[in-house]
Amino acid sequence: MIRFDRVRSVDGRPVLVVRTTLPSRMFPGFIDLDMTDRSLYQVMRDEYGVQPAGGHRSIEAAVLSAEDARHLAAPAGLPALRIEERDKNGGGKGI
């Protein structure tokens, strides 16, 4: 499995941690790519021929973990939202 985090900012302030997990068998060499300012979906499509075509999203209340707090320069334990998305390709297989 490939796991990486990206931090999204608004007006220079970090507000969102995007944690991505991908199956390494589908994305060989992915860890060597520079994802700075690149769209994950565009890279999946252009580099690997994988086009997300649907999925499931859930949103739940959570508390800010120590790891996410470091990314966001905020105290751990603050109220937060956890958004989980599971994408599928055009054939209905999980990505």
For 50-90, write each residue's pLDDT tens digit.
Answer: 988 877 889 999 999 999 999 999 999 999 999 888 888 77
Answer yes or no: are the C-beta atoms of 48 and 40 closer than 8 Å.
no
- For residue range 17-53, what is the model confidence (pLDDT) as tens digits? 988 889 999 999 999 999 888 999 899 999 999 988 8
Predicted TM-score (pTM) of the model is: 0.74
Q: Parallel, antiparallel, or unpaired for β 2-10 and 79-89?
A: unpaired
Helix/strand/coil for 45: helix
